[in-house]
């Protein structure tokens, strides 16, 4: 008897001073939500969940990241290699950005379909668009931080958009850069802004939710709530439904994190930024591709930039462009068709954005851009005038009682399919640009759900690296201590390390000196600096091999195929001096001479040392160098997905049970 | 009875489901916290530097060198016979942190200490011949005036404990591994 009273007394004490408990109860428990919300309404809370995931993972990354042009790239790789679970946190954050955009895009399209921008929800819609714009700015600046090639050149291109502004354009760009190109001051301020903006977004999300709770949720029928019989309390009905949604989402998210962590990214961003060389084909992250396509569709700098920004800003005008009194597309036959054509148009724009700006892609992009604006400026106003909407139901509870749960389940399946298609097509569009030669696809031991490295193969590959590759290529992101992964004992690693000469210093007289390597040393570079490396290699810089399989389209298949891709040039081809003919290398003229020959490396374990085997083993070793976390990643992924599957089944069962008295 | 059982069955199933779901959800969230917490621990490259090997050959009797270990200075002093004798002659019961000299060295000639004052973490002076060594001929902490003897034990001043002896071993007569 006394315990509940005491508890109540504590609650009252707090409530009298700060009514936070009743506020939370009012907005997260009692909040009356329409009882007919389908699974498309899960994406708002999912996006909120994702925002928290991004802030938390970002904070932990920031504790290890160094915002300096000379150190940023390596500090990110240190997170990937040395920080405990750093690879996990970075892959959560990196793929989380893509997931966040998928969720928000679906959330926005849901609003478009069900007319959630119409009175009385105009402010709610606008605040949501502000969140979207802040998100885009934050994502763009986040992509700059790893300071890879795409970071630098993406930043250069996007900041240069502002140079299109008449008269003051160049001044604005110089101000953004803090210099005369994207450089250290730019990286520094982008880090600060990328750190700060998510908290601004968090605040604006509160306003978004505040506005939502004032005007209440829209619903699939788009008709107003008539009374309490049309609503159910948010908790437990929608909390458990959201929980189930989060479970399903986390499974999809985990598959990306643990098995396809770089699928949605671009290999060039694993090449350190180089202000002297632009990658041949630069594309933004997939979630910007439709807007990028609009930018490129207009053959005028200023107009292109205006079109791109208008494509976003026009969403603010929706409450005036679409004057139909009926909200939901369910009762608007013409609007419904226009909506789906518009969705296809956006997907086409996204695909065009990933393609090179040449040939057929230019007119396709222009037509799609034209249609994008036609939809908003002509179709929507006209349709809302001429369309005869279907009869609206009397109330929400009427069709809910009639149709039962079937439509809910159907929309759930649709929602999932759309999410999956968006994710995969985003990646495919990004990958599609690499129209490379046919690659060999050997059976790698690490492919597949449970894939692991073959230690014996890695040791053979290391031998090849040491005896052949290391004459010209460094591997600065790996240390001798890491060779324990290959099955070497601690003492063996010490001996290997001691067999290398490391330049250290300065000593007490200020001179550099040579000493034997220690396990904590990284693999020494064969040349003292890039200039010396170029001078010794006919002007071409042999790239560091730490990340080579991650930094090329095709990954390990590419490296393997390249090593075996040397041929006598066809008679029609005239090679420049000092170049070799390689069928896999872009342009076919490569500076690296053919290196792999039968019998050039003696394998002590009896493996035949033909060139195919040598190429395969050294590629495996380089794959390990690029993704040392892979085995841990696969093993953890299996456990995580099994757990999530089990949890999601439970969430679903509980959801069914709780909702059984509504249907 | 019949009515009761039909009512009770779903309720208890709901309770079981609710408890199971809560348990699974809380477990998942708790496990998910670990990678984030562990990421704050020393990273692999930091841990790789947590043992060092020091060559003792260049150190003459009466000399001391300072090496960096885990971001802190480690004092290695090759003690003179007089310093050893003074350190061994002290009655540990008279000390604030009672320890015999034998407990603090592996070989009496070599004294290895973490060179951090146990008061508030300053680095005591006494490594170089011209340094102040305090009243007991060992080290003297200039921050708040702690005096250490030739065994690195606290003898006077605010420090509560003797300077720490790190884990180390002789790999050979002239090579030690610290950590």
Reported ipTM: the value is: 0.89
pLDDT tens track for A406-441: 455 666 667 667 766 766 666 665 555 555 568 999
Range with lowest mean pLDDT among A189-203, A424-438, A447-461, A587-601: A424-438
CA–CA min distance B44, chain A (Å): 5
CA–CA min distance A196, chain B (Å): 21
Query: Which position among B19, B119, B144, B147 bears the catalytic label?
Result: B144
Annotate A260-274 with DSSP letters as a single string: -TTTTS-GGGGSBP-
Strands, E, within A197-309: which ranges?
A: 231-233
User: With an 8 Å Cβ cutoff, are B36 and A56 in contact?
Assistant: yes
Residues of B in contact with A90 (CB under 8 A): none
pLDDT tens track for B134-146: 999 999 999 999 9
Range with lowest mean pLDDT among A231-245, A620-634, B13-27: B13-27
Q: How confident is the model at residue A299 (pLDDT cuts 50, 70, 90)?
A: very high
| Dist. CA A595–CA A333, nearest whole Å | 65
pLDDT tens track for A357-379: 889 999 999 999 999 999 999 99
Q: Does pLDDT of A185 surpass 90?
A: yes
Provide the pLDDT for residue B50.
Answer: 82
Residue A375 gets which letter from DSSP? I
| Residues contacting B18, CB < 8 A, separation 6+ | A654
Provide the pLDDT for residue B11.
Answer: 57
Q: Which helix (H) or strand (E) holds A589?
A: strand A589-590
Query: Quick count: other Cβ atoms within 10 Å of Cβ B8?
Result: 10
Provide the pLDDT for residue A426.
Answer: 61
Provide the pLDDT for residue B7.
Answer: 44
Residue count of chain B, please give it.
Answer: 179
Residue A481 gets which letter from DSSP? G
Q: Does pLDDT of A663 surpass 80?
A: no
Q: What are B's interface residues with A at a Cβ cutoff of 8 A?
A: 10, 13-14, 17-18, 20-21, 24-25, 28, 35-36, 38-41, 43-46, 48-49
Contact B65, B59 (CB under 8 A): yes
Closest chain A residue to the Cα of B31, Cα to Cα: A640
Region B118-135 average pLDDT: 92
- H helices of A63-148, in order, are 72-81, 86-113, 122-144
Report the predicted TM-score, pTM, of the whole model to 2 decimal places: 0.91
pLDDT tens track for A560-569: 999 999 999 9
CA–CA min distance A253, chain B (Å): 14
Q: How confident is the model at residue A508 (pLDDT cuts 50, 70, 90)?
A: confident
| Residues contacting A81, CB < 8 A, separation 6+ | A87, A477, A628, A629, B44
pLDDT tens track for B137-171: 999 999 999 999 999 999 999 999 999 999 999 99
User: With an 8 Å Cβ cutoff, are B10 and A657 in contact?
Assistant: yes
Which residues of A have a catalytic role annotated?
213, 217, 241-242, 285
pLDDT tens track for A324-352: 999 999 999 999 999 999 999 999 999 99
3-state helix, strand, coil in chain B (%, to 5): 30, 25, 45
Residues of A in contact with B177 (CB under 8 A): none
> pLDDT above 70 covers what percent of chain A?
94
Provide the pLDDT for residue B2.
Answer: 40
The whole-chain average pLDDT of chain A stands at 92
CA contacts within 13 A on the Cβ side of B117: 24
Contact A311, A377 (CB under 8 A): no
Q: How confident is the model at residue B31 (pLDDT cuts 50, 70, 90)?
A: very high
User: With an 8 Å Cβ cutoff, are B39 and A644 in contact?
Assistant: no
| Dist. CA A596–CA B78, nearest whole Å | 55
pLDDT tens track for A120-136: 999 999 999 999 999 99
Q: Does pLDDT of B13 surpass 70?
A: no
pLDDT tens track for A209-227: 999 999 999 999 999 999 9
> pLDDT above 90 covers what percent of chain A?
84
Contact A134, A197 (CB under 8 A): yes
Q: Does pLDDT of A290 surpass 90?
A: yes
Provide the pLDDT for residue A402.
Answer: 55
Closest chain B residue to the Cα of A59, Cα to Cα: B36
- H helices of B97-164, in order, are 101-104
Q: Which helix (H) or strand (E) holds A516?
A: strand A513-516
Region B85-99 average pLDDT: 92
User: With an 8 Å Cβ cutoff, are A60 and B44 in contact?
Assistant: no
Q: What are A's interface residues with B at a Cβ cutoff of 8 A?
A: 56-57, 60, 63-64, 78, 81-86, 88-89, 243, 479, 481, 519-520, 643-644, 646-647, 650-651, 653-654, 657-658
pLDDT tens track for A35-67: 999 999 999 999 999 999 999 999 999 999 999
| Dist. CA A132–CA A471, nearest whole Å | 50
Region A516-521 average pLDDT: 92
For the record, the structure tokens of B36 come out as 């984030």
Choosing among B19, B44, B70, which should be mutated to test the A contact, i.e. which has the most A CBs within 10 A?
A: B44
| Dist. CA A454–CA A162, nearest whole Å | 51
Who among A64, A646, A658 is closest to B24 (CB)? A646
User: With an 8 Å Cβ cutoff, are B39 and A85 in contact?
Assistant: yes
């Amino acid at each position: 008897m006394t315990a509940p009273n005491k508890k109540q007394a504590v609650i009252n004490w707090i409530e009298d001073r700060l009514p936070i408990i009743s506020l939370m109860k009012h907005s997260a428990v009692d909040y009356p939500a329409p009882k007919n919300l389908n699974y498309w309404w899960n994406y708002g809370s999912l996006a909120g969940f994702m925002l928290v995931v991004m802030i938390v993972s970002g904070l932990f990354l920031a504790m290890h990241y160094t915002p300096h042009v000379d150190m940023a790239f390596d500090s990110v790789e240190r997170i990937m290699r040395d920080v405990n679970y750093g690879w996990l946190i970075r892959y959560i954050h990196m793929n989380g950005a893509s997931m966040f955009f998928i969720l928000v895009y679906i959330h926005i399209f849901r609003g478009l379909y069900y007319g959630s921008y119409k009175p009385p929800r105009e402010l709610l819609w606008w605040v949501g668009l502000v969140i979207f714009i802040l998100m885009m700015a934050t994502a763009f600046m986040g992509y700059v931080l790893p300071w890879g090639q795409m970071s630098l050149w993406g930043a250069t291109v996007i900041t240069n958009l502002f140079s299109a502004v008449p008269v003051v354009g160049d001044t604005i760009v110089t101000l953004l850069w803090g210099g005369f190109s994207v450089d250290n001051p730019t990286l520094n301020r982008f880090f600060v802004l990328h750190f700060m903006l998510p908290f601004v977004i968090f605040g604006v999300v509160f306003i978004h939710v505040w506005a939502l709770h004032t005007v209440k949720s829209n619903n699939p029928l788009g008709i107003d709530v008539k009374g309490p019989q049309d609503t159910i309390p948010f908790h437990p009905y929608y909390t458990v439904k959201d929980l189930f949604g989060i479970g399903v989402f986390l499974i999809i998210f985990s598959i990306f994190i643990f098995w396809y962590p770089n699928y949605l990214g671009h290999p060039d961003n694993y090449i350190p930024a180089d202000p002297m060389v632009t990658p041949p084909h630069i594309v933004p992250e997939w979630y910007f591709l439709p807007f990028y396509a609009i930018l490129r569709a207009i053959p005028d700098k200023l107009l292109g930039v205006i079109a791109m920004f208008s494509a976003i800003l026009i969403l603010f005008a929706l409450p005036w462009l679409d004057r139909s009194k009926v909200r939901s597309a369910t009762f608007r036959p013409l609007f419904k068709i226009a909506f789906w054509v518009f969705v296809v148009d956006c997907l086409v724009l996204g695909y065009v954005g990933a393609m090179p700006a040449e040939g057929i892609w230019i007119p396709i992009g222009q037509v799609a851009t034209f249609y994008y604006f036609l939809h908003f400026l002509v179709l929507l106003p006209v349709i809302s005038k001429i369309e005869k909407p279907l009869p609206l139901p009397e109330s929400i509870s009427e069709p809910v009682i009639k149709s039962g749960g079937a439509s809910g389940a159907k929309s759930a399946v649709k929602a999932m399919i759309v999410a999956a298609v968006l994710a995969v097509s985003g990646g495919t569009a990004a990958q599609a640009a690499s129209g490379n030669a046919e690659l060999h696809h050997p059976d790698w031991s690490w492919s597949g759900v449970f894939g692991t490295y073959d230690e014996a193969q890695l040791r053979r590959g290391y031998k090849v690296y040491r005896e052949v590759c290391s004459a010209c290529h460094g591997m600065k992101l790996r240390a001798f201590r890491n060779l324990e992964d290959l099955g070497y004992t601690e003492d063996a690693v010490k001996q290997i390390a001691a067999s290398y000469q490391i330049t250290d210093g300065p000593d007490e007289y200020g001179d550099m000196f040579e000493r034997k390597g220690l396990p904590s040393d990284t693999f020494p570079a064969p040349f003292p600096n890039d200039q010396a490396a170029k001078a010794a290699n006919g002007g071409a810089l042999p790239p560091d091999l730490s990340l080579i399989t991650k930094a090329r389209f095709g990954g390990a298949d590419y490296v393997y195929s390249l090593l075996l891709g040397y041929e006598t040039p066809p008679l029609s081809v005239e090679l420049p001096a000092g170049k070799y003919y390689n069928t896999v290398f872009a342009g076919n003229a490569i500076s690296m001479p053919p290196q792999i020959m039968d019998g050039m490396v003696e394998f002590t374990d009896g493996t035949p040392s033909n060139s195919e085997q040598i190429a395969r083993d050294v590629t495996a070793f380089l794959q390990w160098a690029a993704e040392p976390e892979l085995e841990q990643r696969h093993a953890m992924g299996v456990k995580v997905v099994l757990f999530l599957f089990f949890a999601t089944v439970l969430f679903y069962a509980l959801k069914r049970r709780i909702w059984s008295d509504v249907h | 009875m019949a009515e009761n059982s039909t009512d009770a069955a779903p309720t208890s199933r709901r309770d079981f489901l609710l408890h199971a779901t809560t348990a699974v959800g809380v477990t998942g969230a708790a496990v998910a916290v670990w990678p984030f917490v562990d990421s704050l621990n020393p990273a692999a490259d930091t841990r790789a530097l947590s043992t060092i090997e020091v060559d003792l050959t260049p150190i003459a009797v009466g000399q001391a060198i300072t090496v960096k270990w885990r971001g802190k200075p480690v004092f290695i002093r090759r003690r003179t016979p007089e310093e050893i004798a003074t350190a061994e002659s002290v009655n540990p019961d008279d000390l604030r942190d009672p320890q015999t000299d034998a407990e603090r060295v592996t070989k009496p000639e070599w004294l290895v200490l973490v060179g951090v004052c146990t008061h508030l973490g300053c680095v005591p002076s006494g490594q170089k011949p011209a340094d102040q060594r305090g009243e007991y001929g060992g080290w003297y902490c200039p921050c708040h005036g702690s005096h250490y003897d030739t065994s690195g034990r606290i003898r006077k001043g605010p420090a509560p404990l003797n300077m720490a002896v790190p884990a180390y071993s002789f790999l050979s007569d002239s090579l030690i591994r610290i950590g």
